[in-house]
Chains A and B, each alone.
Chain A
Amino acid sequence: MQPLRYLLLLLPLLAPLAHAESRQPTHSYTLDNGLKVIIREDHRAPVVVSQVWYKVGGADEPPGQTGLSHALEHMMFKGSKHLEPGQASHLLNSLGASENAMTNRDYTAYYQMLSRDQLPVALEMEAERMHLLTLPEDEFVKEIEVIKEERRMRVDDNPNGLAYERFLAQAYTANPYRQPVIGWMHDIERMGIEDLRAWYQQHYAPGNAVLVIVGDVYPETVKPLVERYFGAVPAGSAPLPRAPLELPAPGERSMTLHLDLQLPTLLMGFNVPSLNTASEAWEVHALRLLSAVLDGGYSARLSSRLERGEAIATSVGSGYDAFTRGDTLFILSGIPNEARAVDLPQLEDAIWQQIDELKQTPPSAEELSRVQAQVVAGLVYAQDSIMAQADRIGTLEVVGLPWQLVDEDSAALQAITPEQVSAVARKYLTRERYTRSYNLPLAEEAQP
């Protein structure tokens, strides 16, 4: 189990950002074929991370074809013009490189971490599969079975995964983020290799991708390598990624699920903008601070008041990811403390009380400075990991935000006043933006 991820996942606000006064020169340019390239130097260790990010994910998939992007990600390891299925992974492994890929609602990303001398191997392989993927049908037939196993493991046999998938399907109305990235099982079952070939043709082009390189490299040696391998990829035509948009006030939605759970869980979500879709950037930074005031560490309000003070919750948290292509959700979730006979409606009321209090009374300067201290320290800690640095840069660029924001983020957060935090709570944490899900063990009744 990996509880450490909790803070990292739940606090995008505190997510590592590169240091504003960083001694790490960063070079950004675009190849003739449209590939955006960002190179950040970090010379502490003779290693390098190379990442290719494609602007295609679950949100782009037509109904009936959910899971396409994820399935294509799997097939990207199944051979290209000069590489047999699995061979690229095999060779990279033999070199001691670590590699992986991830698919998300906004993007699909591939990365390698290796010794700096091996960077050309990663670049050449990645460039080749950008335009010369073979997509053999016999491999697809096997791989789609692996994907079904993946879905069974992550979702179908995991009641929390199921609850979350159903929740998203309700919490988004006009917004394709309602679709599961891994795909509905009935869509996975009817997917064919031709669907993937079409998807690949449509979305895998240099103009629809971002290359991020972070590590012990210098532009004068890396730029020629990038040109040598990626310069040869034909431009093709890149689709224009559309930002998923939501209705401003979809209306209050509530659902109750009975699942094979041992502990009842509560999910609460509010439809809110992201940094990409907000008309006022400050509102998004204020929402990030709001989430941190509620749940930015063990001293934050939800932990202090609901887990400790009144012990209403066994566990409670909030999350808001501002760095998405489209309108997103501000989420709160919790497990009521059954040892003290607390039920889901009581936990929901207690969380609403915390929200309402913040609407009326701004957080204290001391609370905000505590959050701020963590952000500033996080800038330093983030530099310990070149992977974390590359992730931040790549995430920003792939959703359509400039990478330079990593160096401006601390200032943006520092500019937010306590009153602004209350203002966004009043504006966005409202009933007409609200979705609530009670997830109950099979035998339990929802209402007291």
Chain B
Amino acid sequence: MSPRSPFSALRWLIALLVLGGMLFLLVERAPEQSTPEPVSVPSEAPAATGTASEVFGEPLPALQSLEELDLDTPPARRGLDLQHWQTSQGTPVYYMQADELPMLDVQILFAAGASRDGELPGLAGFTNAMLNEGTGNLDAGDIAAGFERLGAQFSNSSHRDMGLLGLRTLTASDKLEPALSLFAQILAKPSFPEASLQRIREQMQAGLRYARQRPGSQASEALWSSLYAGHPYGIPPDGTEESINAITRADLQTFQQTYYSAGNAVIALVGAVGRQRAEQLAQHLADAMPQGEAAPRTPAPQPVSASTQHIDFASNQTHVLIAQQGISRDDPDYAALYLGNQILGGGGFGSRLVNEIREQRGLAYSPRSTFSAMQAPGPFYISIQTRADQAEQALDVANQVLDEFILTGPTETELSRAKQQMLGEFPLSTASNGAIVSQLGAIGFYGLPLNYMQLFLDRVQALTAEDIRDAFARHLPASERLIITVGPPQPEPEPEPEPEQDDTESETDGDSATQPPEDENT
């Protein structure tokens, strides 16, 4: 949970201008969705057995360290005493005490994302960006200075499922109390000042224009609008030129009162406060919020039929997307699809897509496949950026890899390796308070059981190759596969491109595993 400036799409642009371009990472870590999927080591589960070469399913290089590796014992992990209760309003609270550092992370997740925009695309994002622009008699500068002089970091962000508010603060009482009090004021009475309203409106309009210079944004927008036509996920989170101009102060206030309410929130807390204090604190925050109802669950989308579309864009590369509707976060097949996707193209080096497209053929820098599991079934997609004249070849290879995986599933070697990978990743995914608070937030928001990490790992370790193949075959029928390309005009005639709308891309909270990556190329 890092500090984030309000309406930060353009601030990001500035970051890019100022210091971007100096770092070249070999492989982008999966777009900063950071924490790997939570898994945990069951207390009495049979661990992977045998020698390293059996586990890895290949002859091992002559390295001493590999010969000495103990793969019979699951890696040690940080003890996690996760706790759960409800405030008097029924707001679920998820908590872990961590006394090692004098700091506290607070994350509040509201079912207040763009899927609630209704007739006014951009309303959720606009509301979220306005929350810290004024409260009572404080303006944006007062609020920012209030947090900053305490060394506290306030964050806000808006996505398709959720609106997030976060606070990271020191726990010394002369820091904690005022920081929480200011945070509570923002929850209680955002004032939506007129001056800020106009400025954020202008920034959002600029953000729409900025997205038009990025082929990745165009591709992402086409993905969501095609897969989710007529569904709340098809609403462009950054709005349209018309809707942004149409949104009024009253609209923002109504949205805040309706969706940023105690009945529609989940609170996650990790840090150096005891249980009793944590209960008081969560109650204090819930008391500050409007006392409203939980928003209804986002419905499942209507299936779409296979189609192909090309959008002309004056770029060197063509952005290729293969996309279809995937699954919701609480789908019973989640474990099988997650593990399978690690093998297919979500696991970086060693995954099939990276091997075939990058390693074997040098066609692209960061090919990958992703399941965005959301409240309603989110998208599955494969994304590739390649020199325009290679786009067709890259698309063919990706389609073949996907078809073959659906047909025959993973090999036993791939399966055991992926399971081993999950065991090894777990200690990393829970090493920091920031990672744990995100995991807790996701568990709460998607209504997963408190021991979810444990259950997930148990499920993963029990999976067979056939389970994975079967889940992929059921969820990814080729008859519903969309192909989207953005780049220079293609030689053969294509269907009419979609009229250009505004970009639907949204930022993904870097430290939060709760967020689907909604952008193809961060």
Q: Which residues of A contact B (CB under 8 A)?
A: 1-10, 44-47, 70, 73-74, 77, 82-87, 89-91, 93-98, 100-105, 113-118, 120-121, 123-125, 128, 141-150, 152-161, 163-165, 168, 180-182, 228-229, 260-263, 265, 267, 296-299, 303-304, 307-308, 311, 314-319, 321, 331, 333-335, 337-340, 366, 369-370, 373-374, 376-378, 380-381, 383-386
Q: Using CB atoms, name the residue of chain A closest to B32.
A: A2
| Of B68-76, B228-236, B247-255, B256-264, the one touching chain A | B68-76
Measured between alpha carbons, how far is A318 from B522 in the docked complex, in Å? Answer: 22
Are A149 and B202 interface neighbours, CB within 8 A? Answer: no
> Among the listed B17, B169, B362, B421, which residue makes an inter-chain contact with A142, where contact means beta carbons less than 8 Å apart?
B362
User: A157–B316 contact, CB under 8 A?
Assistant: yes
Most buried by B among A70, A82, A307: A307
Residue with the greatest number of chain A CB neighbours at <10 A, chosen from B70, B153, B365: B365
Min C-beta distance of A52 to chain B, whole Å: 14
| Least CB distance, A129 to chain B, in whole angstroms | 12
Knowing A73-B26, A304-B141, the reply to whether A299 touches B213 (Cβ < 8 A) is no
Can you list 21 A-B contacts (CB < 8 A)? A1-B505, A3-B15, A4-B507, A5-B2, A5-B15, A6-B15, A44-B101, A46-B77, A46-B427, A94-B417, A98-B36, A113-B428, A115-B428, A121-B63, A149-B386, A153-B385, A160-B20, A181-B24, A319-B18, A381-B153, A381-B168
Residue among A89, A164, A304, A377 making CB contact with B151, cutoff 8 Å: A377
- Chain B residues near A377: list those with CB within 8 A: 150-153, 169-170, 175
Q: Do the beta carbons of B17 and A333 come within 8 Å of each other?
A: yes
* Closest beta carbon of chain B to A186's beta carbon, Å: 15
Beta-carbon contact of A339 and B13 below 8 Å: no
Partner of B76, one of A89, A116, A383: A116
Contact with A along B473-506 (1 / 0, CB 8 A): 0000000000000000000000000000000011
Instruction: Known contacts A2-B31, A100-B27, A338-B206; decide if A164 and B65 are in contact (CB<8 Å).
Output: no
Q: Which residues of A contact B427 (CB under 8 A)?
A: 45-47, 96, 115
Q: Cβ of A381: which chain B residues have Cβ within 8 Å of it? A: 103, 153, 168
B349 interface contact, C-beta 8 A: yes
A70 to B209, CA, bound (A): 33
Interface 9-residue window, one of B288-296, B372-380, B430-438: B430-438
A377 CA / B154 CA spacing, docked (Å) = 13
Q: CB within 8 A of A181: which of B21, B202, B428?
A: B21
Q: Which residues of A contact B420 (CB under 8 A)?
A: 94-96
- From B10, B19, B69, B505, name the one whose CB has the most chain A CB atoms within 10 angstroms: B19
A95–B385 CA distance with the chains assembled, in angstroms: 29
Q: Is B118 an interface residue (CB 8 A)?
A: no
- What are the residues of chain A within 8 A of B434 when measuring CB–CB? 384-385
Closest CB of chain A to B97's CB: distance in Å? Answer: 13
Residues of A within 8 A of B62 (CB): 82
Residue of B nearest to A14 (CB): B3
> Are the C-beta atoms of A9 and B18 separated by less than 8 Å?
yes
Given A163-B17, A164-B20, A331-B18; A152-B78 close (CB under 8 Å):
no
Shortest A61–chain B CB gap in Å is 14
The answer to whether A373 and B151 have CB atoms under 8 Å apart is yes
B81 in the interface (beta carbon within 8 A): no
Closest approach, in angstroms, between the C-beta of B363 and any C-beta of chain A?
Answer: 7
Please tell me if the beta carbons of B16 and A164 are within 8 angstroms of each other in the complex. yes
New A-B contacts (15) at CB < 8 Å, excluding given A102-B24, A154-B21, A321-B19: A1-B505, A2-B507, A4-B2, A6-B4, A44-B431, A149-B362, A152-B316, A153-B385, A228-B64, A265-B17, A298-B144, A331-B18, A331-B19, A337-B202, A374-B151
> Is the CB–CB distance between A47 and B431 below 8 Å?
yes
**Contact status of A157 and B18, CB under 8 A, knowing A3-B4, A96-B426, A103-B24:** no
Chain A proximity mask over B41-84: 1 for CB below 8 Å, otherwise 0: 00000000000000110001111111011100101111000000
Question: Given that A96-B425, A118-B75 are known contacts, is A123 also in contact with B433, CB under 8 Å in the complex?
Answer: no
A-B interface, 8 closest residue pairs, ranked by CB to CB distance from nearest:
A96-B424, A377-B151, A145-B362, A3-B8, A115-B75, A299-B144, A89-B349, A3-B12
Residue in A141, A298, A337 whose Cβ sees the most chain B Cβ within 10 Å: A298
Residues from 346 to 361 in B contacting A, C-beta threshold 8 Å: 347-350, 355, 358-361
